[in-house]
């Protein structure tokens, strides 16, 4: 059972456009949602995260929008740059000593 | 900055052979994790550990063992490697429980089982 779903599987945008990556979850106990960015040949690295008490989190060009009622969140990357080309993982956890759950990732390509 | 290192970075193993992947962190983190990454599956948790000398099963523990001899070191052991265990393996650490803090990942080990 896949508890964290990401869409689309792959996304291509032009430089300067806004990329929108989607994530949904099933477990209502999840309250912490980090997004990880992974470049080829490297391990994932935390990009930005949000807790369920918030509906929006911004960090520069990266913004998470969170809808607790619909159990959905999205990562918006504004003014996309070729250097943003990577795989993005949405993850979720209820906190405490619980195992994290990762989505399958979205591969983003930004064309110059 | 958090530092997690893995060795080897790549390995070719034969079916039925024993494989040990090692992970070392220098951040004084209590929590360590082993994941495997396969195309189309994202990251899947194999084993994790809260404290030295103790390990817990993750979502896909079958065919794997883990060992945490010290706070800094966490190993993943494949006693009888199989073709299906060809994947990239990532180790990660975090300061407290995962839901409360950032996970820091190592660079990965690419394992090919022939």
Which of A100, A103, A106 is the best mutation test for B, with the most CBs of B within 10 A? A100
- Mean pLDDT of the region A74-101: 89
pLDDT of residue A97: 57
**Residue A70 token pair:** 């619909």
| pLDDT greater than 80 at residue B59 | yes
Which residues on chain B are in Cβ contact (under 8 Å) with A95? 97, 99-100
Kindly report whether the peptide bond that precedes residue A72 is cis, defined as omega within 30 degrees of 0: no
Helix, strand, coil shares of chain A, percent, nearest 5, are: 5, 55, 40
pLDDT of residue A100: 77
pLDDT of residue A65: 98
Which of B98, B100, B102, B104 is the best mutation test for A, with the most CBs of A within 10 A? B98
Give the separation between CA A15 and CA A78, rounded to whole angstroms.
10
| pLDDT greater than 60 at residue B99 | no
> Residue B85, SS3?
helix
**Residue B3 token pair:** 């530092």
Give the separation between CA B88 and CA B44, rounded to whole angstroms.
11
Give the separation between CA B30 and CA A71, rounded to whole angstroms.
31
Give the DSSP letter of residue A18.
P
Provide the pLDDT confidence category of residue B102 given band limits of 50, 70 and 90.
Answer: confident
**Do the chains contact at B98 and A99, CB–CB below 8 Å?**
yes
């Amino acid at each position: 059972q896949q508890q964290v779903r990401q869409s689309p599987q792959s996304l291509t945008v032009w430089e300067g456009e806004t990329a929108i990556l989607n994530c949904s979850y099933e477990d209502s106990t999840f309250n912490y949602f980090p997004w990880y960015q992974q470049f080829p040949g490297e391990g994932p690295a935390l990009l930005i995260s949000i807790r369920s008490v918030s509906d929006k989190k911004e960090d520069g060009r990266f913004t998470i929008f969170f809808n607790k009622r619909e159990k959905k969140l999205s990562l918006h990357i504004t003014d996309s740059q070729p250097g943003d080309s990577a795989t993005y993982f949405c993850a979720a956890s209820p906190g405490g000593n619980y195992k994290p759950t990762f989505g399958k990732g979205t591969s983003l390509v930004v064309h110059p | 900055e958090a530092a997690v290192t893995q060795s080897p970075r790549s390995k070719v193993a034969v079916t039925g052979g024993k494989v040990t992947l090692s992970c070392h962190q220098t951040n004084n983190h209590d929590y360590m994790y082993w994941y495997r990454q396969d195309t189309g599956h994202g990251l899947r948790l194999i084993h994790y550990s809260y404290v030295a000398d103790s390990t817990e099963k993750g979502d896909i523990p079958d065919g794997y063992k883990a060992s945490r001899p010290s706070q800094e070191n966490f190993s993943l052991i494949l006693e009888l490697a199989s073709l299906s265990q060809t994947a990239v393996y990532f180790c990660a650490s975090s300061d407290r429980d995962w839901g409360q803090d950032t996970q820091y990942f190592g660079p990965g080990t690419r394992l090919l089982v022939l």
